[in-house]
Amino acid sequence: MIEPSVKENVAWWHWHRRLYNWVVHWADTRFGVLALIILAITEPICVPIPADVLVIGLCLGKPKSSLKYGLLCSFFSVTGGTIAFSLGLAIGPERVIHFFDVLSVGPIQLGDKAQQALELYQRYDFWAIAISALTPVPYMLFSWLGGMAEVSLVKFVGISLVFRTLRFGSESLLFYLFGEKARRLIEKYFNTATVVVILLLAILVFVMKKVSHLFG
């Protein structure tokens, strides 16, 4: 992760890196919070740059405002995810399956594969939403797919709120407590921490199922 103040000469064809640098530079301007809100909303819809980069840039500049940045990003990220979900819902599973049917060549029926993928999403909707909201797995992709699979909107929003807040809130809390040292902690342990959280979730779901059977 680079600091927002670092200037780089990037080749014009490295568009993703140039977009990344352009997003991060807003942390050094008076429009940083507005840029964060816009990025948080648009990332789950169509922007390939994770909102974390701007959250971290802003937190580095004002560690004592970190919690505000994390909560703002969480709320507006779920807002963007809900918009993407609604667009996916408007498209619907039938159009998705038909689209892949048209692309099918030979014995492989892509429409059937698309239907299986949507059914898997419906079956494991909690894990699909939670993991995409918490980890580097693209939340954008799973927001659109959630609507296409016609999972519960209430469930999507509720799970997204919990795990987006856990993601951005944890990052911002580290900066609030540790300042500059938090950046190194996030870079070093982020992936490990997310794996641990997912394992703990799996254990919690297993325990809840066992308890519900005892009282069912």
Question: pLDDT tens digits for the chain (216 residues)?
Answer: 444 444 455 554 455 667 667 777 888 889 999 999 999 999 999 988 889 989 988 988 888 999 999 999 999 999 999 999 999 999 999 999 988 888 776 666 788 888 999 999 999 999 899 989 988 788 999 999 999 999 999 999 999 999 999 999 988 998 898 887 777 777 677 667 667 666 766 776 666 566 555 544
Distance between terminal CA atoms of the chain? 49
Instruction: Write down the pLDDT at residue 1.
Output: 41
Instruction: Write down the pLDDT at residue 95.
Output: 93
Instruction: Write down the pLDDT at residue 201.
Output: 67
Instruction: Write down the pLDDT at residue 49.
Output: 85
Average pLDDT, the chain: 83
Model confidence over 187-209: pLDDT tens digits?
A: 677 667 667 666 766 776 666 56
Instruction: Write down the pLDDT at residue 44.
Output: 95
Instruction: Write down the pLDDT at residue 136.
Output: 78
Q: For the stretch 56-74, what's the b/e string if a residue is b when 16 or more beta carbons lie within 10 angstroms of its beta carbon?
A: bbbbbbebebbbbbbebbb
Nearest to 18 by CA among 6, 8, 4, 30: 8
| Reduced DSSP (H G I as helix, E B as strand, rest coil) percent helix, strand, coil of the chain, to 5 | 80, 0, 20
Give CA separation, 79 vs 14, 84, 146, 157, in Å: 30, 9, 14, 9
Q: Are 131 and 137 in contact (CB under 8 A)?
A: yes
Nearest to 115 by CA among 85, 142, 145, 74: 145
Degrees to nearest 5, angle at CA 87 with 70 and 129: 50
pTM of structure: 0.79
